[in-house]
């Protein structure tokens, strides 16, 4: 009897988990409906916009191709928008009836004589990581996934698991850009400095970046380790565990189920293993399981508990030896939604380390008041950004990245907008900011609260592009002049 119970209970638990994962995988069949001809959209799928034409910019004399496109737009009286991998979510790559420059074909890669990366702005990180790994090198700062273009990464001034650096622009030494007058300009911190600082996090409003020179680092082997702590201890645990310079990357995650909402954190570090040999990256068969567990959280408190418990028991990557280039080789397709009636939406909030615990407590109060489905929260640290004209890292910040699964309806987008406005109020009260490439839910007043430099930013836009040739929906929503 006791033996029967001893075997029976685990079997029932495993059976429930397997049924739940199977059902969730079944809902993920199908795929997203295509965007109709003559329209374009972005990763959030809420910005479907009619466009005049998509123009692919390639590696054969991209400057001439961009100048031609500008000339055509002027003759036709149309605006120009710039698109990389289109993973922004607020129409940052779109304007109604625009000529849209698709930069992905402008992707030549080389190492210069000083070992820095020289990259076409349309190169995706997937191409860059593979190219650099062949030379024993790897990116220094990039996002947590590899789908994005370098131009789009600079346009948002992105960041990732590199905890001891400011955002991406801190690794960009110089760039070449075609401004709206058709001039090709070399920009750096010493040449055309105003333009350089405006382009970083400037969302394609100051010119088309053709290529850039980027500082990179050695590819190395890391040992990853995941620990669990109370969220209230997170800043302290973070400070202790990244104290060694051998800790090269770090990120955290928060518990999401109703009972433990935001109270527990998993913290993962990647520590250099000196002298270890880099093995060719191995694709793990566990990837599809990880995807199933991740998606099974959708609309399910049981699914959220299951993921937390599985990761708590096994650790997300604990103990594994992994090359830096392998960590930076994951596509968003590994976890992104495929259910035709839903979409994934991100929001991100930055707070100084000292304000983290208070902000998370505010999030815990605010979230249950809104009918939205939050399926992931990761935490990163980013150093202060003194480069960009619209900086989100105004201090040494902890970033909370919130991923929501929402119905693909205007009502669901509006519900998320309400939540986001409450969270933006809370983050501003905590002395923080929020990230601009996601849904433009924040009000104009909140935008100005987070980015008081905005009037200066838009004045610079007027100086560099007096006819407003380069436009997008983000600009149209938030412009102050």
Give me the residues that bind ligand FAD (CB under 6 A), please: 43, 82-88, 92-93, 103, 121, 143-145, 148-149, 151-153, 155-156, 158-160, 203-204, 208-209, 332, 346, 437, 472
- Phi, psi of 368, deg, nearest 5: -65, -15
The contacts of residue 358 (CB under 8 Å, 6+ apart) are: 430
Q: How far is the CB of 104 from ligand FAD (least distance, A)?
A: 8
Q: How far is the CB of 15 from ligand FAD (least distance, A)?
A: 32
CB atoms within 10 A of CB 459: 11
Q: Within 13 Å and on the Cβ side, how many CA atoms surround 109?
A: 18
Q: How far is the CB of 88 from ligand FAD (least distance, A)?
A: 3
| DSSP structure string for 303-361 | HHHHHHHHHHHH-SSTT-EEEHHHHTT--GGGT----TTEEEEEEEEEEEGGGHHHHHH
Residue entry with tokens 């698109």 = 83
Q: How far is the CB of 142 from ligand FAD (least distance, A)?
A: 8
Q: How far is the CB of 94 from ligand FAD (least distance, A)?
A: 9
Q: How far is the CB of 41 from ligand FAD (least distance, A)?
A: 11
Percent of the chain that is helix, strand, coil (3-state, to 5): 35, 25, 40
Helix (H, G, I), strand (E, B) or coil at 46: coil
Nearer to ligand FAD, 148 or 464 (CB): 148
Nearer to ligand FAD, 181 or 260 (CB): 181
Nearer to ligand FAD, 278 or 378 (CB): 378
Q: How far is the CB of 6 from ligand FAD (least distance, A)?
A: 43
Are 155 and 203 in contact by the 8 Å Cβ rule? The answer is: yes
Nearer to ligand FAD, 278 or 325 (CB): 325
Nearer to ligand FAD, 15 or 33 (CB): 33
Total count of residues recorded for the chain = 481
For the CA atoms of 305, 309, 312, 316, the dihedral, rounded to the nearest 10 degrees, stands at -80
| DSSP structure string for 425-481 | HHHHHTT-EE-SSS---S-HHHHHHH-TTHHHHHHHHHHH-TT--B--HHHHHH---
Nearer to ligand FAD, 153 or 271 (CB): 153
Nearer to ligand FAD, 208 or 430 (CB): 208
Nearer to ligand FAD, 153 or 268 (CB): 153
Q: How far is the CB of 98 from ligand FAD (least distance, A)?
A: 11
CA 384 to chain centre: 18
């Amino acid at each position: 009897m006791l033996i029967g119970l001893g075997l029976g209970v685990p079997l029932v638990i495993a059976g429930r988990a397997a049924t739940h994962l199977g059902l969730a995988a079944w809902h993920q069949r199908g795929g997203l409906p295509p965007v109709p001809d003559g329209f374009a959209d972005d990763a959030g799928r809420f910005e479907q916009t009619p466009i005049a034409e998509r123009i692919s910019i390639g590696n054969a004399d991209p400057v001439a191709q961009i100048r031609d496109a500008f000339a055509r737009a002027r003759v036709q009286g149309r605006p120009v928008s710039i698109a990389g991998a289109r993973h922004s979510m607020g129409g940052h790559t779109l304007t109604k009836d625009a000529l849209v420059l698709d930069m992905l074909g402008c992707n030549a890669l080389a190492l210069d004589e000083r070992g820095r990366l020289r990259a076409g702005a349309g190169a995706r990180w997937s191409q860059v990581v593979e190219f650099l790994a062949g030379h024993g090198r790897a990116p220094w700062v990039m996002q947590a996934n590899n789908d994005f273009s370098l131009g789009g990464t600079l346009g948002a001034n992105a960041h990732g698991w590199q905890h001891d650096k400011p955002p991406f622009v801190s690794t960009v030494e110089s760039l070449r850009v075609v401004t709206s007058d058709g001039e090709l300009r070399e920009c750096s911190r010493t040449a055309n400095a105003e333009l350089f600082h405006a382009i970083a996090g400037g969302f394609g409003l100051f010119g088309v970046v053709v290529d850039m020179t980027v500082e990179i680092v050695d590819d190395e082997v890391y040992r990853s380790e995941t620990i669990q702590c109370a969220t209230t201890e997170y800043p302290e645990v973070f400070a202790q565990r990244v104290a060694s310079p051998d800790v090269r990357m770090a990120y955290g995650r928060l518990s999401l189920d109703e009972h433990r909402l935001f109270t527990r954190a998993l913290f993962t570090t990647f520590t250099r293993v000196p002298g270890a040999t880099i093995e060719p990256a191995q694709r793990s068969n566990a990837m599809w399981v990880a995807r199933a567990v991740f998606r099974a959280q959708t609309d399910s408190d049981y699914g959220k508990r299951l993921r937390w418990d599985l990761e708590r028991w096994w650790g997300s990557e604990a103990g594994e030896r992994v090359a830096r280039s392998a960590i930076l080789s994951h596509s968003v397709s590994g976890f992104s939604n495929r259910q035709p009636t839903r979409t994934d939406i991100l929001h991100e909030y930055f707070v100084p380390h000292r304000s983290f615990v208070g902000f998370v407590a505010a999030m815990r109060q605010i979230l249950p008041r809104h009918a939205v489905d939050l399926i992931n929260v990761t935490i990163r640290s980013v150093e202060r950004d003194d480069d960009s004209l619209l900086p989100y890292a105004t201090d040494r910040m902890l970033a909370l990245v919130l991923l929501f699964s929402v119905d693909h309806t205007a009502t669901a987008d509006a519900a998320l907008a309400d939540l986001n406005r409450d969270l933006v109020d809370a983050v501003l009260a905590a002395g923080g900011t929020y990230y601009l490439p996601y849904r433009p839910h924040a009000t104009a007043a909140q935008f100005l609260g987070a980015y008081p430099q905005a009037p200066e930013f838009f004045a610079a836009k007027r100086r560099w592009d007096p006819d407003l040739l380069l436009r997008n929906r983000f600009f149209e929503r938030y412009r102050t002049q």
